[in-house]
Amino acid sequence: MFLKNLRSLSFGEWLVCGIGMFFIGLGMGYIDVGVMDYGIGFFIFGLILEIPAFYLVFKHKY
């Protein structure tokens, strides 16, 4: 149904997604070892980077 409108993501779009996920993972790692200040900061920064990434991914559906 919607698959005919999908196209593959460009390098920039993959980069935004990957960097956002990197910072989320980095934040989770810092939280895991107990460095809460850096962990929460990196995690929130990663979530902020994922906002445009989700837009870039889901705009391909329509």
Query: pLDDT tens digit string along 9-59?
Result: 778 878 888 999 999 999 999 989 988 889 999 999 999 988 887 787 777
The structure tokens listed for 57 are: 């991914």
The structure tokens listed for 52 are: 């445009």
The structure tokens listed for 36 are: 């809460």
pTM above 0.85, yes or no: no
Own/partner contacts of 14-17, CB < 8 Å, gap of 24 or more, are 16/49, 16/52, 16/53, 16/56, 17/50, 17/53, 17/56, 17/57
Cα separation of 43 and 22, whole Å? 9
What pLDDT is attached to residue 35? Answer: 87
